[in-house]
Amino acid sequence: MYKNYIKIALRNLTRNKSNSVINVLGLSIGIAGCLLIMLWVSDELSYDNWNSKADRTYRVASEINFAGTHQSYAVSPAPLAQALVSDFPEVESAVRFRDYGSFLVKRDVQNYKEEDIVFTDSTLFDVFDLKLIAGSKSALTEPNSVVISETAALKYFNNEDALGKTLTFDDNEVYEITGIIKDMPENSHFRFDFFVSLTGGQEANNGIWVSNNFPTYYVLKKGVDHKAFEAKVFPHLLEKYIGPQIENIMGATYDEIAKSGAFIRYFYQPLREIHLHSDLVAELAPNGNIQYVWIFLSAAIFILIIAVVNFMNLTTAKSALRAKEIGLRKVMGSLKSNLISQFLCESLILTFLAFLLGLALAHISLPAYNQLANKNLSIPFSNPSFWTIALSGTFLIGLLAGSYPAFYLSGFKPIQTLTGRLSDKKGNVTLRNGLVVFQFLIAVVLIVATMGIRKQLSYIQNKKLGFDRQHVLVIDDAYALGNNKNAYKKRLSEHPSIVMSSYSSYLPVPSSRSDSPLCKSAEIREDNCVAMQNWDIDEDYIKTMGIELKEGRDFNIAMATDSQAVILNETAVKLFGLEDPVGKTIYGSADAGPDAGFASIPLKIIGVAKDFHYESLRENIRALGFMLNESSGSLSVKLTPGNPSEAIAHAERSWKELAPGQPFSYRFMDESFNNIYRTELRVGTIFSIFSGLGIFIACLGLFGLAAFATEKRTREIGIRKVLGATTFGIVSLLSKDFLKLVFLALIIAVPIAWYLMSQWLSSFAYKVNVGYSIFIFAGLSAILIALFTVSYHSIRSAIANPVDSIRNE
């Protein structure tokens, strides 16, 4: 019996080629799209799962509201980890990281710039399951020891045994390699190639509770109730350590300070939630975003639904053509249940065919997709649970897609099918129309979402930021120049394409930096201080960056008093509440130890800079002060427009002379700027592609459906033509029905899309208006796409000889 079903199924497939192609292709594209997205989603969800203690590992984060700044940080004080272990029996172990940025690393002569370096405690291996391939778990107990990754070992030592060898950091510190680990998994919220021992480090042992620089992780013992533990940690720490230090520094108790609204608070992030749920200041690496997981997940489901709906629609529409076969089978004694299993069987065959094709499509497009998503995804062919899920999913889709046609078709009365024409039942048409509306609803939402995302991204990229990021070359690690800094700057100015250059501690792009308070009076009090950015710049910085001064003047190296001057941005002035800021004096702090109290230095305000965006546009502009100080961060070089290659060559030649042996690394500021939005751009691109895919599948379905609608009305078209209808008249007659559905979809889709867009945009401090134009454009494109899709069949049947249509009788 089943052999007969399969035979009939295959014969139907080959006999009705274009229909089969649409049916199987649509479903397989849907399956491939869904599969690719699900790979991405499951990768995002798998972050940090590779740790065997992941379910009881947490990170301490701090929320600080002080002096007008309210921020949450992924870092905590240096003594915290030790206190957690010694004061709380619930804690099994704890580990700290300290990110000191990049280092120049060399084995013999050649320095390499390494970004992925972190300092850490010897307990690293108790908390995280890093796989040692050489050395022991006590590898980091001694000072000046380092554990490196396999990749790093290969880079510096090729095939030699790296264990016991040494590496030199920044030309002075020598570290012995005491362990080699397998490269860290990709799905980790931090990835490093060098883990350097913190043992003996000055900052690591400083006991300061009011400075937060250490990402701190702890593992709870098995069976400990985390809620109860959480509740008692901070009160204990506040009483025993933090409170006394605050009193010492500020001359007031924590409770007194808290009355004005200021506070410190710790919160505890489960390890596995960090990647998708944490976006704090000073993360070890940019994290993912649960929002995008939801967006992608819904895209996957939508695409699959569109594809399944297609399948159902086409199969039911096709049913009229099978009526005679069904009638005959019934006359021959087939039961309704036999027919149901026959049609389900056909549907399953088609679905599995589509699954295989979809798998192949996904496999072929995976490399390009990986590049796009900046991931290293692969289809887990060898994983039995993948096959279980995929095959049972396919089976389910097959049943779902086949069930309606199966029950509908098997319900035909034989006499109807063998004698007269079989007219489409009303309910059947309604369902089919409902599904088309649903598909186009999704399509319109996808179009609007795609356009909205693109509009916001281009807004971000083209927004006037308040400084000029074009034609600015940034040379990193200026400290490598040592005493030749000024000589290098002078050498650069000799080149005709170089306008000017400037050394500074920070650039107007997001980076890891911290706030410190400036105050209106010499004492530090919550109500007269503003926590703000302090940037060390030289006298050319404001000109190089094209930052506009609102009032006052720029720094002047000739004026000795400028070394105790400050230029504030508008936000800082506003927060201070200064009416006429230029000429006023505020106070900053000199570097103070934990017991030194607040050592203030007076700073005269000489100018006010117009606000400019130096953080991501997701955030509002925060207070900022410029000070004229020596700095060895980066050198910004303003170039004339045009080909920069000669200027770069000049800069590199001069660098090699003045900083021999040091790596020369440069980037363009607008590139760094675009990097901020790399995730958004990537998500935007991927989303565009998948929504295009969704729309394409929806059109395939409409195309197939239009074919049947036209075929069913062939006779009517013929008669109308005999009676004098024009081609245009016929085309509009046929298109009208579909357009009605698309219009209906449009009306339902607009509010949904509008709501979703405003949800997404609410995470940006600076954003575009969603606006009518997007909806008008999306609506028009949906209509045009539908019209275009349907027109193929309607025009074809409208220009045919009328007799061809009538003869079908």
Compute the distance between CA of residue 696 and CA of residue 693 in angstroms, rounded to an integer.
Answer: 5
Does residue 720 belong to the site contacting another protein (CB under 8 A)?
Answer: yes
For residues 724-743, which are near another protein according to CB under 8 A?
724-727, 729
Give min distance, CB of 724 to another protein, in A. 3
Compute the distance between CA of residue 126 and CA of residue 84 in angstroms, rounded to an integer.
Answer: 15
Among 559-567, 568-576, 713-721, 735-743, which window interacts with another protein (CB under 8 A)? 713-721
**Contacts of residue 194, Cβ cutoff 8 Å, sequence gap at least 6:** 103, 105, 114, 116, 117, 118, 146, 147, 148, 149, 152
Cβ neighbours of 339 (radius 10 Å):
21
Does residue 715 belong to the site contacting another protein (CB under 8 A)?
Answer: yes
* Residue closer to another protein (CB basis): 500 or 795: 795
Give min distance, CB of 713 to another protein, in A. 9
Among 161-169, 201-209, 586-594, 712-720, which window interacts with another protein (CB under 8 A)? 712-720
* Residue closer to another protein (CB basis): 469 or 721: 721
Compute the distance between CA of residue 377 and CA of residue 373 in angstroms, rounded to an integer.
Answer: 9
Contact present, 280 and 61 (Cβ < 8 Å): yes
Segment (H or E) for 44: helix 17-45
- Chain centroid to Cα 767, Å, comes to 18
**Contacts of residue 222, Cβ cutoff 8 Å, sequence gap at least 6:** 56
Give min distance, CB of 802 to another protein, in A. 4
Count of residues binding another protein (CB under 8 A)? 20
Give min distance, CB of 728 to another protein, in A. 9
* Residue closer to another protein (CB basis): 141 or 433: 433
Among 79-87, 98-106, 583-591, 719-727, which window interacts with another protein (CB under 8 A)? 719-727
Q: Is 464 exposed, middle or buried (0-12, 13-18, 19+ CB in 10 A)?
A: exposed
Among 182-190, 214-222, 466-474, 716-724, which window interacts with another protein (CB under 8 A)? 716-724
Give min distance, CB of 704 to another protein, in A. 22
Give min distance, CB of 317 to another protein, in A. 17
Does residue 721 belong to the site contacting another protein (CB under 8 A)?
Answer: yes
**Interface map 787-806 toward another protein (x if CB under 8 A):** ------------x-xxx--x
Interior angle at CA 528, CA 524 and CA 534, nearest 5: 70
* Residue closer to another protein (CB basis): 287 or 797: 797
* Residue closer to another protein (CB basis): 546 or 802: 802
Contact present, 689 and 682 (Cβ < 8 Å): no
* Residue closer to another protein (CB basis): 767 or 793: 793
Contact present, 309 and 699 (Cβ < 8 Å): no
* Residue closer to another protein (CB basis): 277 or 807: 807
Q: What is the dihedral of CA 249, 255, 259, 265, to 10 degrees?
A: 80
Give min distance, CB of 418 to another protein, in A. 18
* Residue closer to another protein (CB basis): 599 or 722: 722
One residue of 716, 733, 737, 764 binding another protein per CB under 8 A: 716
Burial code (b: 16+ CB inside 10 Å, e: under 16) for 415-453 equals eebbeeebeeeeebeebbbebbbbbbbbbbbbbbbbbbb
Tokens representing 262 are: 């200021």
Does residue 808 belong to the site contacting another protein (CB under 8 A)?
Answer: no
| R_g of the chain computed on alpha carbons | 34
Give min distance, CB of 737 to another protein, in A. 11
Cβ neighbours of 713 (radius 10 Å):
19
Does residue 89 belong to the site contacting another protein (CB under 8 A)?
Answer: no
Compute the distance between CA of residue 498 and CA of residue 284 in angstroms, rounded to an integer.
Answer: 35
Among 25-33, 144-152, 473-481, 721-729, which window interacts with another protein (CB under 8 A)? 721-729
* Residue closer to another protein (CB basis): 210 or 795: 795
Compute the distance between CA of residue 46 and CA of residue 48 in angstroms, rounded to an integer.
Answer: 6
* Residue closer to another protein (CB basis): 683 or 741: 741
Compute the distance between CA of residue 117 and CA of residue 194 in angstroms, rounded to an integer.
Answer: 5
Q: Which of 240, 738, 157, 686 is nearest to 440 (CA)?
A: 738
Q: Is 311 exposed, middle or buried (0-12, 13-18, 19+ CB in 10 A)?
A: buried
* Residue closer to another protein (CB basis): 494 or 809: 809
* Residue closer to another protein (CB basis): 132 or 806: 806
Give min distance, CB of 798 to another protein, in A. 9
* Residue closer to another protein (CB basis): 574 or 715: 715
**Interface map 410-449 toward another protein (x if CB under 8 A):** -------------x--------------------------
Compute the distance between CA of residue 302 and CA of residue 311 in angstroms, rounded to an integer.
Answer: 14
17-45 and 290-331 helices cross at what angle (nearest 10)? 150
One residue of 722, 747, 765, 780 binding another protein per CB under 8 A: 722
For 338-447, list the strands marked E by DSSP: none
One residue of 431, 549, 719, 733 binding another protein per CB under 8 A: 719
For residues 520-559, which are near another protein according to CB under 8 A?
none
Which residues bind to another protein, rule: CB under 8 A? 423, 715-716, 718-727, 729, 799, 801-803, 806, 809
